[in-house]
Structure 1
Amino acid sequence: MTDAEGGPVRAASESLNPAAMRKQYRREGLDASALAAEPMEQFAHWFAEAARDGLYEPNAMIVSTAGADGAPDSRTVLLKQYDRRGFVFYTNYASQKAIDLDANPQVALLFPWHPLARQVRVTGTAAQVPREETAAYFRTRPHGSQIGAWASDQSAVVPGRATLDRAYADLAARHPEGEEVPVPPHWGGYRVTPRTVEFWQGRENRLHDRLRYVRSGDGEGWRVERLAP
């Protein structure tokens, strides 16, 4: 193995060599004839299977953005709602992801369901959800998470962990358990309206099944295309 500059990198054992790490995917394949008519319905089927199979946080998804400078960025967030309109997640509107989305609403999502040898890949456009929708979701959050939304100036540089802990403790004292916590004006949801949704199923010999829904030109329907792995 070599490092980024071509020098040798010593590993504890050969099993730590990523080039030697291989898994043979042997799950049942994916055929277009078995897909639902719309991608969100197909997503619901796969999401339910991921949850039934006990995947840890099956609603975890990678959100990739590109800011005004065109530089890409990715992070993992939690899906909190989905329906025919798209996928919803929540964040601080002053966070880096929100700054990126304000400059460029084009976004990509990835659900990496590795134990099932599956991925769902989404491209689309993100827009803030209405405030009443944000407020309704905020009320369902645990009290600690509500306090945390106030305590963290997400993506800002902080001197240390103690700064966060003090901010949380101060807010928790002002809004004790059982007392309603106001919805932060700087916090809310984004809905990603999909343009494409790809369902990726791992197959033997890296000949994976990749079926992608593409929104029609009039925006009213979908076509399905198979991609080479």
Structure 2
Amino acid sequence: MREQYRTMELTVADLAPEPIEQFSRWFKETAATPAIHEPNAMVVSTATPDGRPSSRTVLLKHYDEGGFVFFTNYGSRKGRELTDNPYVSLLFPWHPMARQVIVTGRAVRTGRDETVAYFRTRPHGSQLGAWASHQSTVIGSRAELLARYEELAARYPQDEQVPVPPEWGGFRVVPETVEFWQGHENRLHDRLRYVREDAAGGTTWQVERLSP
């Protein structure tokens, strides 16, 4: 199976001076496209210290000049792997628009205040779910998970504040490279990549074009 992408050319002149601004441009366009159900869904790829990779889809919750933020259980597989090996890749697969964004960088934990502030915005059921699920651990049955959830729901009814689990928090991915991929027919895709350069005078970004 193969599809011919017919889109507009992406040139260096089209890009914003730095990648977060460019990401914001594409993200807003993606969010306005009905064909894309969850524009903030991204594939997070991590690896153990000896290089064994794993990937999963999570939701981007915030982005700014500091990086891309998502939340998880620090005891989950991705949480453990990022603790031992902070190098990470993010992939935003916006296929209906023939676009992808690929971020590589290092993950650092968010501060507890930021974690608590975000946790308070989650629906009540999702807050309970963060307690009920010992993420990535083997479980005997779904009934066991549901029983744990019902116990928590009885302990913390809708009008009571749910405490933030101590092992739950955020990661901020500080980008080192950000690639913007635009598909074209005959596999002649545009791939423009920002590369971070840190110096005494501050951070600058160089843009390079990659062969498809």
Task: Using structure 2 for the length normalisation, give the TM-score.
Answer: 0.97
Q: Give matches, 1:203-222, under 5 Å.
A: 203-218=184-199, 220-222=203-205
* Distance of 2:197 and 2:13 partners within structure 1: 19
Q: Which runs of 5+ in 1 are unaligned?
A: 1-20
Match of 1:117 in 2: 98
- Structure 1 runs (4+) greater than 6 angstroms displaced: none
3-state SS of the aligned residue for 2:203? coil
Letter in 2 for 1:90: F
* Distance of 2:102 and 2:182 partners within structure 1: 11
Larger Rg: 1
3-state SS of the aligned residue for 1:137? helix
3-state SS of the aligned residue for 1:221? strand
Match of 1:48 in 2: 28
Match of 2:17 in 1: 37
Q: How many residues align?
A: 209
Q: Give matches, 1:23-172, under 5 Å.
A: 23-54=3-34, 55-172=36-153
* Distance of 2:49 and 2:194 partners within structure 1: 28
Cα deviation, residue 216, structure 1: 1.1
Query: Would you say 1:224 and 2:207 are equivalent positions?
Result: yes
2:173 to 192, 195, 202: 192
Cα root mean square deviation, aligned: 0.7
* Distance of 2:182 and 2:209 partners within structure 1: 12
